Amino acid sequence: MSQVSDAIDHARREWADPEGPSLEELRAAAADAPPPRSLAEVLSADELALIVEPKRATPTRGTINPEMDVAAVAAECEAGGASAVSVVTEPRLSNGSVEDLRQARSGCTLPIIARDFVVDVRQVYALRAGGADALLVPALVHLGRGDVDEVGADEATGTLAAIIRAAHGVGMEVVLSVCTEEELAFALETDVDVLNIDNRDDDGHVDVERTFELLADVPAGWPVMSESIAAADEVAKLHRAGVDALLLDEGHLDTGLTRALAIYTDLTLDR
């Protein structure tokens, strides 16, 4: 079993625990959260949006920033021109937490995306209560697991359809991250708001051609993010191809997030 598969299974076991918070408790906590900030509004602008993703750790690089001050990073990136902040809340592979989410929201006025293996609607409410405005979920988590109409009612809280409905019900948007043609075909059958094309392979290598190849099959008008780039000259090419946002994942950058923002903001001006 791969690290990712193990982490997904761990998330499913954790959210199946009857001793955890109830759906009613989490829904009430989500209802008390501040009004959500719109990611879709950011992506609808003509200019290429730059979304930053600070990381404590990654599966391929291990620990990066164990003492990271997420609020300070979010504030610096907002000042540097970021359009949104993606916060990894997954604990096993990335050392993330909902507390990181709270810190990011306290540090800036940008939309905050919670990136996690979201396997249950209770997670949706927990992340909304923690300050998330949107969710970023890998398609791999739900690919081939059926939909709400194909499973028993007792399992419905774990389907992607139920998760999307719950997110929309509390004003959140859902980003589905895809890496393959199969995952893209699956994503296009859902009600997700945004597609994220991840250009990394399992070893962490980046090939931006993946975005250009998959983008050809995305219907016009569907917001698209592209994650991880291999060279600075790809920024304008992606923008011209129709990508609405770049996700600058600190796990692969050779420079810090604020420096990357300074470089890529200049490059996006030439469309």
Q: pTM of this prediction? A: 0.93
Contact 111, 39 (CB under 8 A): yes
Cα–Cα distances (Å) from 111 to 50, 122, 154, 195, 266, in that order, read 12, 21, 33, 16, 22
57-61, 172-176, 218-222, 252-256 — most confident range:
172-176
Token readout for 53 is 């993703």
Q: What is the pLDDT of residues 151-200, one digit of tens each?
A: 334 446 889 999 999 999 999 999 999 999 999 999 999 999 999 999 98
Q: What is the pLDDT of residues 227-262, one digit of tens each?
A: 998 788 888 899 999 999 999 987 667 678 888 888
Delineate the domains of the chain, giving CATH numbers in brackets.
Answer: 3-267 (3.20.20.70)
* Alpha-carbon dihedral sign for residues 69, 71, 77, 79: negative
